[in-house]
Amino acid sequence: MVIEQQLAAMDLSGADITHAANSHLHFDHAVAANYFLESEVLMQRSEWDAAFAEDAECIDTNLFDGLKGARLSFVDGDHDVFGNGSVRLIYAPGHTTGHQVLIVNLDNTGSILLSSDLYHTRANRKLQRSPTFNSDARQTLASMEKIERLLVESGATLWIEHHKALADTLKKAPEF
Ligand SMILES: [Zn+2]
């Protein structure tokens, strides 16, 4: 189910969403960006600059062209969205130049950390290796270390969205 359908099932649309953020600008993580043009879009400055650089690879900016006219708020590094620790963007570069992960504290479920493409599978996490297609292997390994520390400190549950067997077991909107 795509995000527009998930929101519609809760009688919401993109216009109801006050804040939006993309983990990074690869097509499979950014194609819905044009749906949130009325939101404040929290964007790692380094991700934006790399995506629109002349030598950018693997990124088709036509897919999220509307973002150029969006309310962009540039972020440099970790960012506590509401200033109370409830939603935090954590800078975890290496898959792309400005890749970030998200940690949210939910009343009923506790803390969840969304991996995005820091890890693609559980095996990827176990092996602690950088996939060959990442933009920077050294940064990737440093980000893995950083996020593993954060998982211990926060007690958060890690969701690896690309791991289909795991993703299929997770309760997602509009279920919760
Ligand atoms: Zn990616």
Taking the centre of ligand 1 as the mean of its atom positions, its distance from the CA of residue 155, in whole angstroms, is: 25
Taking the centre of ligand 1 as the mean of its atom positions, its distance from the CA of residue 95, in whole angstroms, is: 7
Taking the centre of ligand 1 as the mean of its atom positions, its distance from the CA of residue 163, in whole angstroms, is: 13
Q: What residue ranges define each of the domains in the chain, with the CATH number in brackets?
A: 3-167 (3.60.15.10)
pLDDT tens digits, 54-68: 777 667 888 888 888
Distance separating alpha carbons of residues 140 and 146, to the nearest angstrom? 10
Taking the centre of ligand 1 as the mean of its atom positions, its distance from the CA of residue 24, in whole angstroms, is: 7
Taking the centre of ligand 1 as the mean of its atom positions, its distance from the CA of residue 29, in whole angstroms, is: 7
pLDDT tens digits, 106-161: 998 899 999 999 999 888 899 999 999 999 999 999 999 999 999 999 999 999 98
Taking the centre of ligand 1 as the mean of its atom positions, its distance from the CA of residue 59, in whole angstroms, is: 9
Indicate the pTM of the whole model: 0.92
Dihedral sign, CA of 26, 117, 127, 88? positive
